[in-house]
Copies of this chain bind each other. A is one copy, B any other.
Amino acid sequence: MVRVGILGATGYTALEAMKLLLRHPGAQITAVTSRTDKSPLAAVHPQLARRLELSLEDLSIAQLQERCDCVFSCLPHAASAEIAKQLVEVGVRVVDFSADYRLNDPVSYKKWYEHEHPDPARLGNTVYGLPELFREQIPAANLVANPGCYPTSAILPLAPLLKAGLVEPGDIIVDSKSGVSGAGRTPKLGTLYPECNESISAYSVGKHRHQPEIEQILGRVSSATPQIIFTPHLTPMDRGILSVSYSKPTRSVTEAELLEILSDFYKNEPFVRVSKTLPTTKDVAHTNFCDITARVNGGRVLLISVIDNLIKGASGAAVQNFNLMYGFDETTALL
């Protein structure tokens, strides 16, 4: 039984991670932390009442080391790397939900996250936990950078085509729509119910931190680092991301060909479904699936993908990584 700690257990991704782990025959949640809140977990997450009878604690590295084999860090960026580096050094394996270890280098990290990276040496050589692209690196990893939600939705459809040289890396638009849970559980005017209900809006246009992540990760599987124009939207729903990418084919290509390339690339993947029909976010809600389709329109390749931002975009991916790290069947607790 792998003993798992949840760092920063009050938020939405932590809740989903705990719900998944409760179904996992080989995992046991042994610690749930919060720096400020000492409540019983069920007071913060009534969904967990009678299911996980722990209280929130503020634990030291030594205490975590004693109690946990592995932690899921749902801490904010910077805070996460600060603790992750210490845990890894004392032998606790870490799945990091924050963005701290996703980018290639401290310079781009500082540019986008606006402070010095607390653990620069590991930047660029930490495994990016997207099993569909980097599976072989995960089992041995002590630290896994769990992918961002938007990046997962954008990278999975684009990677096969970029790898095959079928679309131009220099001219890609990704227009994404996300449910509100992606904005976290801290009360803010912008995510108050009457502000975002019955309304859709683009935000962080040209400035979202997932843009360099999409570019750098796709750069690892592509001949050149792609240039992405990324526009995220806040959509009046709890969960789900729909991404539409518009790219230029390098040669004439049909929809059937695209679907075949994608299907072939993902034919052994348990969580990627390629289909000719247009997906909706509801098709994958509360699941670890990414559904993908392709269209050719006006000389452009359109790739349309959906995920549940809290599952395949966060906690499901973390469990998938956990399964690979500990030798469980990759789909354990995820189907």
- A242-285 interface code vs B (CB 8 A; 1 in, 0 out): 10101000000000000000000000000001010111111111
Q: How far is the CA of A43 from the CA of B280 in the complex (A)?
A: 13
The range of chain A's interface size is 35 or more
Instruction: Say whether A47 faces chain B, with CB atoms less than 8 Å apart.
Output: yes
Q: Verify B175–A194 contact, CB threshold 8 A.
A: no
Chain A interface secondary structure, helix, strand, loop or mixed? mixed
Q: Verify A206–B297 contact, CB threshold 8 A.
A: yes
Please name the residue on chain B nearest to A280 by beta carbon: B201
Chain A stretch 61-103: residues in CB contact (< 8 A) with chain B = none
Of the candidates B180, B235, B279, the one whose C-beta lies within 8 Å of that of A194 is B180
Q: Verify B277–A46 contact, CB threshold 8 A.
A: yes
Q: Verify A200–B46 contact, CB threshold 8 A.
A: no
- A105-127 interface code vs B (CB 8 A; 1 in, 0 out): 00000000000000000000000
Of the candidates B200, B242, B298, the one whose C-beta lies within 8 Å of that of A281 is B200
Chain B hits for A242, CB < 8 A: 200-202, 233
CB<8 Å pairs between A and B, sample of 14: A22-B335, A46-B280, A49-B291, A175-B175, A187-B187, A191-B192, A193-B193, A197-B237, A198-B282, A199-B285, A206-B297, A233-B242, A235-B236, A236-B237
Q: B-contacting residues of A (Cβ < 8 Å)?
A: 12, 22-23, 43, 46-47, 49-51, 173, 175, 177, 179-181, 185, 187-189, 191-203, 205-206, 227-229, 231, 233, 235-240, 242, 244, 246, 273, 275, 277-287, 291, 295-298, 300, 302, 304, 306, 335
